[in-house]
Structure 1
């Protein structure tokens, strides 16, 4: 770095880059709980309003892998400040959006600006700490990354219930202003990362935009559109596959590619990204399924579901600094292995959930999962990026974060599809037991019917009420079995990652 940047305390730089990164992570999830309220204000249908989320994710995913290239073209400090300014202004416009069309457009701008914030923040932190403290740097970054998804839905729900949904965007404005001031004061471009004037990779830009955009649409809308029975999803899948295959060829041929795929020649980087893809699959799949289970089957409110999830984020925050301290002298692969085993165990406990489980029964597996993720993220990031040249760090962190997000999108899509299919399958199987020849069923029906009649219902009404109660019980049990199987699959996925650890190496300290 330049002389002026060397004099800046590394903790000041850490605080500076964590503010915009945390803001972006929170915004990824904060809008979820406000969709029903937006729907009425923006005069949108149930399916239309989900584009508020989808548009953000698509533009976010497109920009993320080209972060390193954009930073070299425009200069990292100027590009980072431009992204924060755009994100803040877009947040203001989202809050003031008069209709759905404007909201989707402003969310695209917000997502595009936010897509670069996390990779650049991660790259700057990797440079600000000496190599032997790289694990601590990633632990600190991981605290913000894990705390954001906990704060987002809780904060979004409170703001929506007590003020108005528009303020979930307005709260970014003061945070963005503080971030701009601090980046201008404390972040500087290193001497090796100067603005570069080179041939623009137009094919790479076009194919990346088309391929990642189409893929994100498929993953986000696939279950809603019944996957390949929809011509729209089929067309998007073909576009994504062809574009991404052509992208690989184009980027390997171009001297200055938008996405430097040659980084995958490094074994640690390649295997680390594969592991992160699978960790994203497990993380997002479980984090989406658990609140859904609590709210749809257990009758928990959004606030209560958030209270179940929050201790997991707190466990990550507690564990990560200890992991970072250990990594100064220990082997990160051992910590990742312990994290994967602990994650599998937590999902095994979730597999045992019942409809009679208590709040504590739900909370403790989530605490274990949070601790597991706190053991996985810092050492994995450090080992994956250990051999990457500094000049390519922005590119590497962009790819790394993109694969985590795509893994998460795949995890959510697979979990949602399994939930729908398995619920139908289990309900059909359980319904087969609902017949006149089942003595337990007839006894239960008689008891329910008698209870309804004791409250003043006539015989026909009482019989109908009893049948409706049995039908609801069958649906709940079918859904319970489906969630249990999904938790088991996610837990097995944690174990399936373990063989990839053999391809990682302990970073050489210099």
Structure 2
């Protein structure tokens, strides 16, 4: 494969013998990491506080979900586009503009007085902020020599996984301690710092404005329709009955047409809006597939835990955040370990360990009951956090570490897109399973509490007598209580089904690791070498 012959030569050759780090590049990189953290954090920061935003803006229950959906749709369009924009205007101008625009949009979101304004501001925030994410991955694999990747890769892996995981924690704390406005105001000071530092310190590449004349506007429009409509279908499909809904059907058709046009343009124009040639690299292709699956695990579990804690345990936003923090802490503790192991172990073995840990965590959750609390969730969350970091570091290195510097800018956008799309697909599947399996379990459980079943009749009699003694309408309340208990049990059993499916998925990924070519060691200057 042409891309793996000497992929890091252009970078490694510029490093001195002791490979000392340029302080300006380090400052620029950490400012970029902070920008990426804000952008990814804002995907989930509103998730635990949607009810507060809904009340503050007097929004309907069908409208409030768009606070998150609009952000995701806009971001998923910008992420693959960012590589091409960086080639045209340079990383410096793209990142500084993205940071400034994201900060301004955050300020606007905090001033929103109705749901329509909030949706528009969140879309702007997601679109502009999406330009920061792939730039960090590209910078990590182009400005640093291969021997330093075991330091920088855990950093970006930690931020990419930690930010959405602690999003509900941060959001729950801010809305509980202050108000929902602070979910957005918290970005302003860091955003200004990131804008100033990146504008003054990034000097990785030069703009090539002549490329504007060759820019594929039709390709951009097709990609926006393809990805935007696809994200809409995945986000809203389950709630609207999938293809029984006219808008979902139209969006699916628009996405399919946009997909065909986009891929046609990508393979026929001389300067496509997204460079797909990185997929010729076997390891990048498999790395992207694993990134897609990690997106399912990352965003899917960040979603399902709060749903369980809210619906079954009755937790508020702050309590959910405190419970979810365990995974974030496990990731933080594992990051330096993963970085060290990346130079000692075969990266494929690291990934296998990570997937085993992830599968073990979800398998433990298949025994979930309505009584599970912080401590029952403790070990599964640690296994999840450990597994995420053990997978993300080698996946990043395998996917991007064997590409030439010229390919990495475009490839990092595609790589990050696969993770986001994995999250969207995962959420759609999880919500569909929760809905359909809940109905199945409810019907089965209901058969066990029909008349003529001694246990059901005894419970109904006991409840009736209890509420009659309190001077209440015993029979009516007893039946409602029984229905509520059956419904709750059906919901819990549907959660167990989701965790079982995720266990099977991550177990299969352990086998999938064998399809990857053996990567070169990451601890030397030849770390990006061929297989």
Taking structure 1 as the reference length, what is the TM-score of the superposition?
Answer: 0.95
**Partner residue of 1:487?**
499
- Aligned with 2:62: secondary structure? helix
1:471 aligned onto 2:483: yes
Q: Is the 8 A contact 1:68 1:392 kept in 2?
A: no
Counterparts in 2 of 1:192-211, with a 5 A limit?
Answer: 194-197=208-211, 198-211=213-226
Q: Distance in 2 between matches of 1:384 and 1:187?
A: 24
Q: Distance in 2 between matches of 1:184 and 1:291?
A: 38
1:276 Cα deviation from its structure 2 partner: 1.0
Q: Is the 8 A contact 2:442 2:486 kept in 1?
A: yes
Q: Is the 8 A contact 2:176 2:318 kept in 1?
A: no
1:429 Cα deviation from its structure 2 partner: 1.2
**Partner residue of 1:364?**
379
> CA offsets per residue over residues 308-327 of structure 1, 9 Å max, x none?
21111111111121111222
1:501 Cα deviation from its structure 2 partner: 1.6
What 5-or-longer segments of structure 2 have no aligned partner?
Answer: 1-10, 527-531
1:475 Cα deviation from its structure 2 partner: 0.5
Q: Give the superposed CA RMSD.
A: 1.9
1:507 Cα deviation from its structure 2 partner: 3.4
Q: Is the 8 A contact 1:150 1:306 kept in 2?
A: no
1:62 Cα deviation from its structure 2 partner: 0.3
Structure number with the bigger relative contact order (C-alpha 8 A, sep ≥ 6) is 2
The correspondence for 1:85, drawn from 89, 100, 109, is: 100
> CA offsets per residue over residues 363-405 of structure 1, 9 Å max, x none?
2111111100010001111001122121221211110111100
- Aligned with 2:450: secondary structure? coil
Q: Which moved more, 1:464-473 or 1:8-17?
A: 8-17
1:250 aligned onto 2:265: yes
The correspondence for 1:142, drawn from 154, 157, 171, is: 157
1:10 Cα deviation from its structure 2 partner: 5.2
Q: Distance in 1 between matches of 2:486 and 2:50?
A: 30
Q: What number of residue pairs does the alignment pair up?
A: 505
> CA offsets per residue over residues 52-76 of structure 1, 9 Å max, x none?
2111111100010011100011111
1:227 aligned onto 2:242: yes
**Partner residue of 1:161?**
176
Q: Which moved more, 1:87-96 or 1:352-361?
A: 352-361
What 5-or-longer segments of structure 1 have no aligned partner?
Answer: none
> CA offsets per residue over residues 299-349 of structure 1, 9 Å max, x none?
233222222211111111111211112222431110000110111111000
1:70 aligned onto 2:82: no
Counterparts in 2 of 1:438-449, with a 5 A limit?
Answer: 438-449=453-464
Q: Distance in 2 between matches of 1:273 and 1:226?
A: 30
Q: Distance in 2 between matches of 1:281 and 1:39?
A: 27
**Partner residue of 1:398?**
413
1:196 Cα deviation from its structure 2 partner: 4.7
**Partner residue of 1:302?**
317
Taking structure 2 as the reference length, what is the TM-score of the superposition?
Answer: 0.91
Counterparts in 2 of 1:60-459, with a 5 A limit?
Answer: 60-190=75-205, 194-197=208-211, 198-457=213-472
1:17 Cα deviation from its structure 2 partner: 1.4
Query: Measured at CA, do residues 6 and 452 of structure 1 come closer, stay the same or move farther in structure 2, by a change above 3 Å?
Result: closer
Query: Measured at CA, do residues 130 and 196 of structure 1 come closer, stay the same or move farther in structure 2, by a change above 3 Å?
Result: farther
1:194 Cα deviation from its structure 2 partner: 4.8
- Aligned with 1:188: secondary structure? coil
Q: Is the 8 A contact 2:275 2:410 kept in 1?
A: yes
**Partner residue of 2:511?**
499
Query: Measured at CA, do residues 184 and 138 of structure 1 come closer, stay the same or move farther in structure 2, by a change above 3 Å?
Result: same
1:413 Cα deviation from its structure 2 partner: 0.7
**Partner residue of 2:529?**
none
- Aligned with 1:507: secondary structure? coil
Q: Distance in 2 between matches of 1:151 and 1:357?
A: 21
Q: Distance in 2 between matches of 1:436 and 1:92?
A: 59
Q: Distance in 2 between matches of 1:367 and 1:14?
A: 29
Q: Is the 8 A contact 1:279 1:494 kept in 2?
A: no
> CA offsets per residue over residues 73-94 of structure 1, 9 Å max, x none?
1111011101111111111111
